Amino acid sequence: MKKPGGKRLGSRGPVLAGIVLAALVALLHFLAPPALDRIGLLLFDSYQRAAPRIYEDAPVKVVDIDDESIRRLGQWPWPRSDIARLIDRLGQAGASVVAFDVVFSEPDRTSPARIADQLARGGTDPAALTVLRRLPDHDKDLAQSVAQTPVVLGYFLVNDRAGPQVATKAGIAIGGTSPGDVVPRFRSGIESLPELNANAAGSGSVSLPPDSDGILRSVPLLAQQGDQLLPSLSLEALRVAQQAGSIVVRTSDASGEIGNAPGRVVAIKVGQFEIPTTDAGGLWLHYTKPVPARTIPAWKILDGTLSPAELESAVSGRIVFVGAGAIGLRDLIATPLSDHELGVMAHAEAAEQAILGHFLLRPDWAPGLEMALVLVLGFGLAVMLPRLGAARGAFVVLGAIGLVCGGSWLAFAQRGYLLDPTYPVLALVLVYSAQTVLVFYREERRRAYIHSAFDRFLSPELVRRIAADPDRLELGGEEREMTVLFCDVRNFSGISEHLAPKQVIGFLIALLTPLCDVLLARKATIDKFIGDAIVAFWNAPLDDPDQHRNAARAALEMVRKLDALNAGEGRDPAAAWPGPVRIGIGLNCGLCCVGNMGSAQRLSYSLIGDTVNLSSRIEGLTKFYGVSIAIGKALNDKLAEFATLEMDLVRVIGRDAPERVFVLIGDEEMAGSPEFSDLRERHNAMLAAYRSGQWDDARTQILALTSHAGQFGLGKLYSLYETRIATLIAEPPPAGWDGIYEAREK
């Protein structure tokens, strides 16, 4: 192999390269490629997570048709007479407007006349049918309630088919050039029944198209169908609540804004509120954390749990949004703060921000400021860096990045401005990186020479450490507290039987690569591959003080990644995929010996110890208990905030002492959920009854736990306990029975 070398570079080359790169970044900023713009959006998301909007008691409430409401009042859709009662009670309590994030597009199938039509086909007594047909029609009941209370009905806007124009009750006046070219355009809409629309005080779009990455960052206040502008549900609710006649849309050429082409939306005025918008007429949302005080379950209103006085105190003078949060009905959106938020909350938060005057703004001068920073910082660094040198230049670059990012953060936190530091930071990083690479070209070639010699045999991190300290090539190891993971593919022999050898290799690459990506992202060191199995560990060669949580999160993410691969997401289309694939993961922590193992001729950076052996045995138990992730007691003690359950007390093959084995179900969020808390309480009660020989009590708890089994993947575990209890009843255990299960397979 040729040793590295090279001629000395001229001083003008790095400067010229830096200037060219800064100019290229300025061009990218002008072109605004979506991939780079998305970085800025993700940064703004992080700002929201760091400083969510502080909830203020604005005159906005959400009535949630939640799971408890469905349980108490029956399955959805409810009879329209129930919806009418809901409207009546909200109206009587003084709600200024009731806005539905629900579309009543079809007649009520529970109306007496429709039920009579269905019964007539079965030969029911005509006299009874006549009585039914004389009963009030539910849709008419609802229409009457809609007429008596200020109600805004929602409609869906779609592009997959042509259809009639949506009828809007809002007059929309435009100041400046019409924004039809930038406002989201739709071909047709799905509205509520005509008799309901006729009596409603207003109607608005409930469609919430997210950004390209699936996150809803702004609510579209306007939409366009044909030549007609349409308001959103939140905007229309604000209009009706104020009894305003029209909505005024101001565009860029009527507002004196600079840097915007004509016809870009600048602000929307409805009644006394003026709302600054994006170019397309959207409102940047500054989300709050979940606020229980904002929401009222629908059942509390319909069954009278809330007295008239309490309901009036809760909704009088307020805009009330009604949405469906029950499982199976959920209109879910992804936000910067949550992957699963109710769509109606976006409408409610938009109305809150308009009323409170709390806005996030992307000022018209922001792009110009960002472009100026790109040119000044990029060109300045290109000229200065060769004189500063790499070390001092790094401090300058880091300081400049800190100032740019800090300024962006302060602008957000103090003024609500969205200033994107992506392009100035990109210019600094590219200029510094390019000039550093050029100036230290020979040194980089020498490092590349070392890496090329050893990368095929050792991990990249270990190569870097050996390059820094060749003495590490000596045999030997050190004792460290470590976390060990074993992952194995279920039924791999059966999979291999139906695939050609090359297909097996392609399948393993398609499976193991994304799983290893998860491990590496969580700071794991991948020890080895044993056929279809992965062995990995944490806290070596580098210290990882968060090793236990990193390992737990990695295991949970591996299971989720496999589910995505099974669904075809991100999977190599050229690889043979044998249908649903399952894995078992065993984890434990403890003292291990880690270092350069092997002989003087061939080294392998690996680990040994009882912790490693136990982790392997625990992985083998996942198949027996039917779970994806099993962990030992030592690791479970380190994961008190995670969702774990003790499965059994097991004496594994090769060990005399029994081990308490746990199943890892989820992270801290799941551990704090009411469903898991109920599961844990019942599960622990079942184990206590089982180990104390109270078979009937144990069976009773198992029966109660079966409703949770499918949700948490514990069906096989509880079936095993049912079988064990039946055996123990038939053949009672001897005195002093300790409940230990003897594992017979590895």
Q: Give the start-to-end residue ranges of the domains of the chain.
A: 12-51+361-441, 60-356, 474-639, 668-746
* pLDDT score at 8: 43
Q: How far apart are CA 14 and CA 469, in angstroms?
A: 31
Q: Which of 403, 587, 576, 600 is nearest to 488 (CA)?
A: 587
10 Å CB burial of residue 600 (0-12, 13-18, 19+) is exposed
Q: How far apart are CA 550 and CA 528, in angstroms?
A: 19
User: Residue 298 is encoded by which pair of tokens?
Assistant: 């629908």
The alpha carbon dihedral of 99, 228, 260, 429 has a sign of: positive
Answer for the pair 202, 169: CB distance below 8 angstroms, yes or no. Answer: yes
The alpha carbon dihedral of 521, 526, 531, 533 has a sign of: negative
User: Residue 95 is encoded by which pair of tokens?
Assistant: 């709600």
Catalogue the E-assigned strands of 524-581: 525-530, 533-538
Q: How far apart are CA 672 and CA 679, in angstroms?
A: 11
Answer for the pair 192, 153: CB distance below 8 angstroms, yes or no. Answer: yes
Q: How far apart are CA 644 and CA 630, in angstroms?
A: 9
For residues 325-354, one letter each, b for 16 or more C-beta atoms within 10 angstroms of the residue's C-beta and e for the rest, the string is: bbeebbbebbbbbeeebbbbbbbbbbbbbb
* Class of the CATH-defined domain 474-639: alpha beta
Rounded to 10 degrees, what is the CA torsion of 20, 26, 32, 34?
Answer: 50
Q: How far apart are CA 547 and CA 545, in angstroms?
A: 6
Q: Which of 178, 344, 343, 297 is nearest to 249 (CA)?
A: 178
Place of tokens 């779609």: 158
Rg (C-alpha) for the chain, rounded Å, is 32
Answer for the pair 206, 103: CB distance below 8 angstroms, yes or no. Answer: yes
Answer for the pair 108, 79: CB distance below 8 angstroms, yes or no. Answer: yes
Answer for the pair 184, 230: CB distance below 8 angstroms, yes or no. Answer: no
pTM above threshold 0.85: no
Q: Which residues have CB under 8 Å from 346's CB, separation 6+?
A: 208, 216, 219, 234, 285, 333, 335
Q: What is the DSSP letter of 243?
A: T
Answer for the pair 445, 28: CB distance below 8 angstroms, yes or no. Answer: no
677 sits in which H/E element: helix 674-691
Residue type, 625: Y
Residue type, 553: R
Other Cβ atoms less than 10 A from the Cβ of 564: the count is 12
Q: How far apart are CA 738 and CA 649, in angstroms?
A: 9
Answer for the pair 440, 387: CB distance below 8 angstroms, yes or no. Answer: no
Catalogue the E-assigned strands of 309-423: 319-324, 332-333, 341-342
Place of tokens 């071909």: 187
Q: How close are the terminal C-alpha atoms of the chain, in Å?
A: 47
Q: What is the DSSP letter of 98?
A: E
Answer for the pair 207, 157: CB distance below 8 angstroms, yes or no. Answer: yes
Task: Spell out, as residue ranges, where the chain has pLDDT lower than 50.
Answer: 1-10, 442, 450, 453-459, 473-474
Answer for the pair 664, 643: CB distance below 8 angstroms, yes or no. Answer: yes
The alpha carbon dihedral of 120, 126, 132, 137 has a sign of: positive
* pLDDT score at 710: 80
**Strand 228-231 with 319-324, pairing:** unpaired
* pLDDT score at 3: 46
Helix 12-31 with 366-388: angle, nearest 10 deg: 170
Q: Which residues have CB under 8 Å from 318's CB, separation 6+?
A: 59, 60, 61, 95, 96
